[in-house]
A = this chain, B = another copy of it.
Amino acid sequence: MVAPLPGLPDSVTIWEVGPRDGLQNESTAIPTEIKTEFIRRLVAAGLRIVEATSFVRPDWVPQLADAADVVALLPREPGRRFPVLVPNLRGLLAAREAGAGEVAVFASATETFARRNLNRGLGEQMAMFAPVIDSARADGMPVRGYVSMCFGDPWEGAVPRPQVVQVCRDLISAGCTALSLGDTIGVATPGHVAALIGDLVAAGIPVADIGVHFHDTYGQALANTVAALQQGITTVDASAGGLGGCPYARSATGNLATEDLVWMLDGLGIDTGVDLRALVAASAWLAGVLGRPSPSRVVRALSAAQDTQ
């Protein structure tokens, strides 16, 4: 039954991260044709933005060594966007050469994670991103700034909101066209989400430029999404089938599953352009390829219902 909730938007843009964030965490490399077939099925299901891959050093992340091939094989159709992650200028050049039209950089909201993930301090990460953002923007490319550990950090605990606001302001000042607030370890709760978004808007960052990226490690992702939508957010990251997640938490659950998100938004009468049955079929197909059940509750429930028919 469709029943709207007052104060929520009419439509939401889903920023699908499964092919990049999900498959980069697989222990064995997925063949390129499986990756691109997965992306084709996601696009056919109605997803308009699909983060396709990451141009990281292949000796560091061999699962993504085929980034240029994936980009070359993307189903380019009007109104579809395929951003790619670029860690540095070298990655940007490779992405551009492969034909990517849109990129994202990956910043940290905490000192410890910046040092561990970027080998730089919190105050020094912008020096690494600035030339990447400048160069991409000079070519007319949109640049999204991911901010990880926005709510909690496994080493530092709760993250002070002003610290997150500062990193977000720095990214926007440097030229990022959009942000994604990551709850990388999944510890956030709805009041914390609402408060941080309120702080960012108060700091002058347009809410239309802010996306949210929740992990379901503690089961909070959809409750946090409702709180974000009530604050005016209209871009929500999700991963088809619940693929991927944080390598720092041993729990099986990671990214918010796109299907669980679409089930909720469909019920709320919020348009996403996504056909849930086609999306579930795409994730069930990939789960079969990977040889294990999807962590998405909707994929499991609908697949079980189909089995009994």
Contacts and interface: CB of A to CB of B under 8 A. Distances in A.
A219 B257 contact: yes
Contact of A190 (B249, B250, B251, B268): B268
B297 A264 contact: no
B297 A263 contact: no
Interface stretch (A78-86, A88-96, A128-136, A191-199): A191-199
Contact of A225 (B223, B225, B267, B304): B223
Given A222-B220, A268-B191, A301-B218, A151 B251 contact: no
Interface stretch (A1-9, A20-28, A57-65): A1-9
B5 A191 contact: yes
Contacts of A223: 222-223, 225-226, 264
A219 B298 contact: yes
A308 B250 contact: yes
A251 B189 CA distance: 26
Contacts of A188: 267
Nearest to A154: B305
A23 to B, nearest CB: 22
A171 to B, nearest CB: 22
A283 interface: no
Contact of A217 (B189, B190, B252, B301): B301
Copies in the complex: 2
Contacts of A257: 219
Most buried by B among A151, A187, A219, A269: A219
Interface in A34-73: none
A292 B252 CA distance: 15
A14 to B, nearest CB: 15
Interface of A: 1-5, 8, 151-152, 158-159, 186-192, 194-195, 216-220, 222-223, 225-227, 249-253, 257, 260, 263-264, 266-269, 296-298, 300-301, 304-305, 307-308
Given A223-B226, A251-B300, 18 more contacts: A1-B152, A1-B158, A3-B189, A8-B191, A190-B264, A190-B267, A190-B268, A191-B268, A219-B222, A219-B296, A220-B260, A220-B267, A222-B222, A222-B223, A223-B225, A249-B301, A250-B308, A253-B300
24 contacts: A3-B191, A5-B191, A188-B267, A189-B268, A190-B267, A190-B268, A191-B267, A191-B268, A192-B267, A216-B219, A218-B263, A218-B298, A219-B257, A219-B296, A219-B297, A220-B222, A220-B264, A223-B225, A250-B304, A250-B307, A250-B308, A251-B297, A252-B300, A253-B300
